[in-house]
Amino acid sequence: MTQTLTLRRPDDWHLHLRDGAMLQAVLPETARHFARAIIMPNLVPPVVTGDQAAAYRDRIMAALPDGMTFEPLMTLYLTEDTDPDDVAQAAASGLVKAVKLYPAGATTNSASGVRDFDKVRPVLERMADIGLPLCVHGEVTDADIDIFDREAVFIDRVLDPVRRATPGLRVVMEHITTANGVDYVKSNDTDLGATITTHHLIINRNHILVGGIKPHYYCLPVAKREEHRLALRAAATSGDDRFFLGTDSAPHTDALKEHPCGCAGCFTATNTMALLAHVFEEENALDKLEGFASRNGPGFYKLPVNIDTITLTKSETATKFPAKIDMGEGTVTVFDPGFPVYWNVTA
């Protein structure tokens, strides 16, 4: 029996497109289903000024295949030298929709991130004044903190103090991975939202480590215990509009993923919507999928919901997704959930 589900065209509120040949290869995978995406600025060198964001946006649009429609929502990489005036001007122009905070050393290409939060206070205060969201990679990088505890410690040591010191600052906790993150969002009624990735709804840390190391499941923040995955599932499927989709789809070539010091990131742009339909159906919450993928994010960012729609169809035959995307200089492995999926985007 065929089952269909039509919803407003979704957006991705956390996406890595990279640049050059990688951008050319992976952009169509997102643009096929998503109308807009918040574009991560952690290139080498990072996107730190309005002019750099405009140039990156031009490269993205030049890479978009004919016949596809897609709007990149640009962000600036927050450094200790970021100019509050440049941020305000980029936001006022409509180009920049958020500023991204990477604690220095937290993840891929984060070496230019923030070490001393007092040095970025003028930027955060200006952002609070103009209502520009701060997107946060929420992990401390202290060597004495276990990697599985870094998100919870960040909330207590960094995020909560920053928010208390900057009233009105609108914050997105990106790719939350713990029940601690879920609980913190639920405890705050205003100016706080959180994105949840596709893969963190599906894998826990056992998937990375049991039976041999699985490099294509390695991501940052790293997947946590099963109890945390279940908390994320409950939040995503709850209908609470503070939680919305940010895939954190992060392409790396297989050579770099399978390297002795492999890169962090799961590439989910190709099959995210089918995987979400599977997850939401398992949770008896298909009626909540449109909110999570298509409505809650625009609501937080104060943007209109997309007018266009997509249709997901469930069939009796498992959907076959491509295993890899060829980028010319190598291949990128598409996230494999480890189970058959019977949903697919058909229109």
Q: Which residues are catalytic?
A: 248
Inter-residue contact 78 to 46 (CB < 8 Å)? no
**Who contacts 189 (Cβ-Cβ below 8 Å, separation ≥6)?**
none
- Count other Cβ atoms within 10 Å, centred on residue 172: 28
**Who contacts 121 (Cβ-Cβ below 8 Å, separation ≥6)?**
165, 166
CA neighbor of 5 nearest in space, from 279, 289, 340, 339: 289
* Phi, psi for residue 14 in degrees, rounded to 5: -170, 105
Bridge partners of 100, per DSSP, are: 77, 135
Helix/strand/coil for 172:
strand
In the DSSP assignment, the letter for residue 332 is: E
Pairing of strands 171-174, 134-137: parallel
Amino acid identity, position 43: L
The H or E element spanning position 325 is strand 324-326
Helices (H), the chain: 20-31, 50-63, 84-92, 121-130, 150-154, 160-165, 179-186, 205-209, 226-236, 254-257, 272-282, 289-290, 296-301
